[in-house]
Chains A and B, each alone.
Chain A
Amino acid sequence: MFLRFPLSDRRFAASALFSLALIAVAAAAAAQDAPSAHNEVLIKNAVVMTATHGNIQNGSVYIKDGKIAAVGKDLSAPASATVIDAGGKYLTPGIVDSHSHIALDGDVNEATNPVTPQMMMIDAFDYQDKEIYHGLAGGVTTSLLLHGSANMIGGQAIVIKHKYGLGRDAMLFPGAPRSIKFASGENPKRVYGSKDQLPSTRMGNFEVQREALVQAQDYMREWDAYDAKVKNGDKDATPPKHDLKLDALADVLRGKLLVQIHCYRADEMLTEIAMAKEFGYKLRAFHHALEAYKVADQLAAAGVGIATFSDWWGFKQEAWDAIPWNAVMAMRKGVHVAIKSDSEDFARRLNQEAAKTMRYGGATEQEALQMITLNAAWIIGVEDRVGSIDVGKDADLVIWDGYPLSSYGVPNRVFIDGDVYFDRSLPGFGMPHYKEGM
């Protein structure tokens, strides 16, 4: 696909430009595919769980053109608005899944080289995959689709909205920041160690990562030197050779990508923090991070979040010290904590996974809810767009049957950008914008 990339432009990473182009395409496609660019809905008589400022009993949310236009107790809407009586049910922000590999048709890992930052998950995105629907029916409205953890430096993620039934580009989250997946620990060393390649140890892992970053620094210097020559009027200056891999890593060093690191063990988190400091880039979050509770102070000081499981453990050696109190212990130390799925199954019931934090460690209702909404949105870098019921945010909302933070919470209706994409009461798949065989 990148053959269409304008080769004449030497300066920007192919990936960066390509992403920008995609977003433009997405916006255009969305206008064609989406139910309507304009909508006006008043959801009333709900227990509004805002995720930022508590619950509003008998609350209402007024949606205009896909955004939350008002939130409060006694809202009146213009006569033109569609009124939905929630019948006293709970209303939450749409769930945000900050670690997912759904809808990639198995193309999660380009496990042929431990450094593949030029991989673009958009190229594997199977927008017709029913897994998107399964998450939607579980209340998930936004997901970060990441490269896998086979490589120390994996590929670049996409952020989707679960608008199942629409076209591919209409599902992309417009303007979401770019994320890149890094990894550490057992997976890279197992994948390459099994082939007798570097890395097969944690020493090898970090050496591979360092080596790649050093190359990227050299690459940037070459380009800087060339730029300086051009600036000084040197007409004979020849540009260095383009390298997609190093372009992407240069973007990491320039801080243009959110770095999401698959990392289980506490010691490796500290090493990753030190390496980021050494090379001058910032880490967004450790994913899985099952030992975060051991180094929570250091994570908080470095401003690194975690996207973790509630209670999954013991599936591998580096998950042996996992404890279900991890999320709350880290949160109490000031770490941004999200509960994520990393599983087609958990993506369907993240509300239950979040509820477990209320038992293990005593998270409040709002704290638990934030772990699958606002904090998850922060991990992805879209916290100003989604993740809470606040004026100006995208109208991604879920009306629940039962109390959402329990075994009994089941999405009744799911709204994305103000439109209903899932309605439990509908026959068949329960999706207004999807027909089988379309």
Chain B
Amino acid sequence: MRRINSSQVYRLVACFVLLCAMAAAQQKPIVLRGGKLLTVSHGAIENGVLVIENGKIAAVGAASSVKIPKDARLIDVTGMTVYPGLIDSETQLGLTEISAEEMTNDFIEPSEEIMPHMHVYDAFHAESELIPVTRYNGITNAVVAPGSRDTLPGQDSFVQLVGKSSEEMLLIRDIAMPLNFSGEQRRNQGPFDRRKFPSTRMGLAAQLRQAFLDAQDYAQKWADYEKKREDYEKGKSEPSAKSEDKEKDKGKEDKDKEAKKQPPSPPKHDLKLEALLPYLQGKKMIVLAADESNDLQVAVGLAKESNLKFVLNHISHSQSVLDYVASLKVPVIVGPIYEDPKPYERYDAVYSLPAELYKRGVKIAFASYDSHNSRNLPYQAGFASAFGLPYDEALRAITLNAAEIWGVADKLGSLDVGKTANVVVANGDPLDMKTDVKQVFIEGKEIPMTTRQTRLRDQYSGQ
């Protein structure tokens, strides 16, 4: 366990060093001048100036108050809107290319329901054509999650949507783990004789509880072993005591001798159970997914039994228990609000869910829950605002709220000095589909605004 963690840390550090080196290589500061800055954290600034230096936001403010560096490259963005790169809180980007072509899909391991040792970073395809298409609309960061057909389908990664390799793009590996409890995880397809355990919610819950117990036993086994090993090491370094207690401690001494002779043997490694431990220890976050209120309450119960730290996901048809949701004091990744209403629901039951949660003081974020269509994330936020969610909160739900939920608000989610320069320049309201994104910066670098789709467009436009 310790070994795995340290290698992960090593990789993160290596990644960080690489990014620093790249950022340092960038020379001239870039100044975006004259646009309307939607800072998200401290309101909108008309006729603003934003300075990008060494991949970071070096200054942000009104034109009159910001000093422009001498050697800077000035970009006039008069009439444009400038806002932080958008964050999609759940995508399958990098896990698929063509949905119907199974060989291009790496969503889910359906062989078992408890698969915490699956890591999306092992499948994440940096060269996917979907990634430029997504960032073309101003989405710069995303949580990549496995599919939802397993109770525990594996662990998410937090990515940046540009980079030469997955090493560069995977900013945080195993950032969180989904726990899905929506009924979809049941193995109840086909006739009865073809079904397997768990084919009911009872089965799913029992199986999950057993997995958590097994992981706790496993942790205990390792703790016992560590203790034994410690004793053994201690015994080896300390010469056996020649005290008057010798007689008294005869038995103990024999044991010590035994320990000295035979080092304790470690338990067998179990990647699956090991993967659960950071979550059972509350070190990492569970993304707890349920749709209907009954499932939601069972899922929360399961999470609480094992003291899991969690955020909620979807809760699309839980309108009847929103006060209960608020009482949990956890953020909700809501939607997608395009989820069809149930026959008993009013047409706008899901559309208005973000507003209803906001009214109750719940922090929300949006997710596309998609791959090819992840580019449409901002319009979901816009549409939620048409159903009562304040505009600023809608924008926040795809920027700063998301950054806070994912623990990256010190670097992302708003236009503030010191943050990573993930910045979008567009010709209007970021939440409206008529708005054209003109330029995306990621880590201060201008991203080429070309995709497979723009190339096809140009080819057949005779350009």
Residues of A that sit less than 8 Å from B by CB: 130-131, 133-134, 137-138, 186, 293-294, 311-317, 319-325, 329, 344-345, 348-349, 352, 355-356, 358-359, 401-402, 405-410, 428-430
Is B130 within 8 A of A314, CB to CB?
Answer: yes
Q: Mind listing 23 A-B residue pairs with CB under 8 Å?
A: A134-B340, A137-B348, A138-B347, A293-B457, A294-B460, A311-B373, A314-B98, A314-B130, A314-B371, A315-B372, A317-B100, A322-B453, A355-B433, A358-B434, A359-B433, A401-B386, A406-B432, A406-B434, A407-B385, A407-B432, A407-B433, A410-B386, A428-B346
In Å, the complex CA distance between A315 and B387 comes to 30
Is A408 within 8 A of B386, CB to CB?
Answer: yes
Q: Is B435 an interface residue (CB 8 A)?
A: yes
Closest to A324 in B: B453
Residues of chain A within 8 A of B69, CB atoms compared: none
Residues of chain A within 8 A of B373, CB atoms compared: 311-312
Residues of chain A within 8 A of B434, CB atoms compared: 355-356, 358-359, 405-406
Residues of chain A within 8 A of B453, CB atoms compared: 313, 322-325
In Å, the complex CA distance between A133 and B345 comes to 11
Q: Which of chain B's residues 385-422 have a Cβ closer than 8 Å to chain A?
A: 385-387
In Å, the complex CA distance between A314 and B97 comes to 7
If the complex has contacts A134-B347, A352-B379, are A316 and B431 also in contact, measured as CB distance less than 8 A? no
In Å, the complex CA distance between A322 and B383 comes to 25
Residues of chain A within 8 A of B254, CB atoms compared: none
Is A133 within 8 A of B372, CB to CB?
Answer: no
Closest to B343 in A: A130
In Å, the complex CA distance between A355 and B385 comes to 17
**Cβ-closest 10 pairs across A and B:** A407-B382, A137-B347, A316-B100, A314-B372, A323-B453, A315-B99, A408-B386, A130-B343, A325-B457, A358-B434
Residues of chain B within 8 A of A329, CB atoms compared: 457, 460-461
Q: Tell which of A317, A321, A405, A407 touches B431, judged by Cβ atoms closer than 8 Å.
A: A407
Closest to A344 in B: B340
Is B386 within 8 A of A293, CB to CB?
Answer: no
Is B98 within 8 A of A315, CB to CB?
Answer: yes
At the interface, is chain A mostly helix, strand, loop or mixed? loop
In Å, the complex CA distance between A408 and B341 comes to 19
Is B383 within 8 A of A352, CB to CB?
Answer: yes
Is A349 within 8 A of B347, CB to CB?
Answer: no
Kindly name the residue among A186, A345, A349, A359 whose own CB sees the greatest number of chain B CB atoms within 10 A: A359
- The smallest C-beta distance from B217 to any residue of chain A, in angstroms, reads 44
Instruction: Count A-B pairs with CB separation below 8 Å.
Output: 101
Q: Is B16 an interface residue (CB 8 A)?
A: no
Is B347 within 8 A of A313, CB to CB?
Answer: no
Residues of chain A within 8 A of B100, CB atoms compared: 186, 315-317
Residues of chain B within 8 A of A134, CB atoms compared: 340-341, 347
- The smallest C-beta distance from B372 to any residue of chain A, in angstroms, reads 4
Q: Tell which of A138, A313, A355 touches B372, judged by Cβ atoms closer than 8 Å.
A: A313
Q: Is B297 an interface residue (CB 8 A)?
A: no
If the complex has contacts A137-B348, A430-B346, are A407 and B379 also in contact, measured as CB distance less than 8 A? yes
B contact residues, total (Cβ < 8 Å): 36
In Å, the complex CA distance between A271 and B98 comes to 25
Told that A138-B347, A323-B456, A407-B386 touch, could you supply 12 new A-B pairs with CB distance under 8 A? A137-B347, A311-B373, A311-B376, A314-B99, A316-B101, A317-B100, A319-B98, A321-B456, A329-B461, A406-B433, A407-B432, A409-B386
In Å, the complex CA distance between A294 and B457 comes to 9
Kindly name the residue among B101, B341, B453 whose own CB sees the greatest number of chain A CB atoms within 10 A: B453
Q: Is B338 an interface residue (CB 8 A)?
A: yes
Q: Is B356 an interface residue (CB 8 A)?
A: no
Q: Tell which of A186, A324, A406, A429 touches B347, judged by Cβ atoms closer than 8 Å.
A: A429
Q: Is B436 an interface residue (CB 8 A)?
A: yes
In Å, the complex CA distance between A358 and B433 comes to 9
Residues of chain A within 8 A of B376, CB atoms compared: 311
- The smallest C-beta distance from B367 to any residue of chain A, in angstroms, reads 16
Is B98 within 8 A of A320, CB to CB?
Answer: yes
Residues of chain A within 8 A of B383, CB atoms compared: 349, 352, 407-408
Closest to B428 in A: A359
- The smallest C-beta distance from A67 to any residue of chain B, in angstroms, reads 27
Residues of chain A within 8 A of B379, CB atoms compared: 352, 407
In Å, the complex CA distance between A320 and B130 comes to 11
Is A402 within 8 A of B386, CB to CB?
Answer: yes
In Å, the complex CA distance between A314 and B130 comes to 9
Residues of chain A within 8 A of B435, CB atoms compared: 359
The digit string for B87-107, where 1 denotes a CB below 8 A from any CB of A, is 000000000011111000000
Q: Which of chain B's residues 347-391 have a Cβ closer than 8 Å to chain A?
A: 347-348, 371-373, 375-376, 379, 382-383, 385-387
Residues of chain B within 8 A of A138, CB atoms compared: 347
Residues of chain B within 8 A of A186, CB atoms compared: 100
If the complex has contacts A311-B376, A329-B460, are A348 and B386 also in contact, measured as CB distance less than 8 A? no
Residues of chain B within 8 A of A313, CB atoms compared: 372, 453
Q: Tell which of B97, B385, B460 touches A408, judged by Cβ atoms closer than 8 Å.
A: B385
Kindly name the residue among A133, A314, A358, A408 whose own CB sees the greatest number of chain B CB atoms within 10 A: A314
- The smallest C-beta distance from A111 to any residue of chain B, in angstroms, reads 16
If the complex has contacts A320-B98, A402-B386, are A359 and B436 also in contact, measured as CB distance less than 8 A? yes
Residues of chain B within 8 A of A355, CB atoms compared: 432-434
Closest to B340 in A: A344
Is B98 within 8 A of A316, CB to CB?
Answer: yes
In Å, the complex CA distance between A186 and B101 comes to 11
Residues of chain B within 8 A of A359, CB atoms compared: 433-436
Residues of chain A within 8 A of B372, CB atoms compared: 312-315
Kindly name the residue among B379, B383, B434, B461 whose own CB sees the greatest number of chain A CB atoms within 10 A: B434
Is A352 within 8 A of B99, CB to CB?
Answer: no
Residues of chain A within 8 A of B338, CB atoms compared: 345, 348-349
Residues of chain B within 8 A of A358, CB atoms compared: 434
Residues of chain B within 8 A of A319, CB atoms compared: 98
- The smallest C-beta distance from A339 to any residue of chain B, in angstroms, reads 12
- The smallest C-beta distance from B463 to any residue of chain A, in angstroms, reads 12
Residues of chain A within 8 A of B385, CB atoms compared: 407-408
Q: Tell which of B343, B371, B387, B436 touches A410, judged by Cβ atoms closer than 8 Å.
A: B387
Residues of chain A within 8 A of B431, CB atoms compared: 407
- The smallest C-beta distance from A105 to any residue of chain B, in angstroms, reads 12
In Å, the complex CA distance between A401 and B97 comes to 38
- The smallest C-beta distance from A172 to any residue of chain B, in angstroms, reads 23
Closest to A346 in B: B338
Residues of chain A within 8 A of B456, CB atoms compared: 293, 321, 323
In Å, the complex CA distance between A316 and B97 comes to 9
Q: Which of chain B's residues 65-100 have a Cβ closer than 8 Å to chain A?
A: 97-100
Q: Which of chain B's residues 297-344 have a Cβ closer than 8 Å to chain A?
A: 338, 340-341, 343
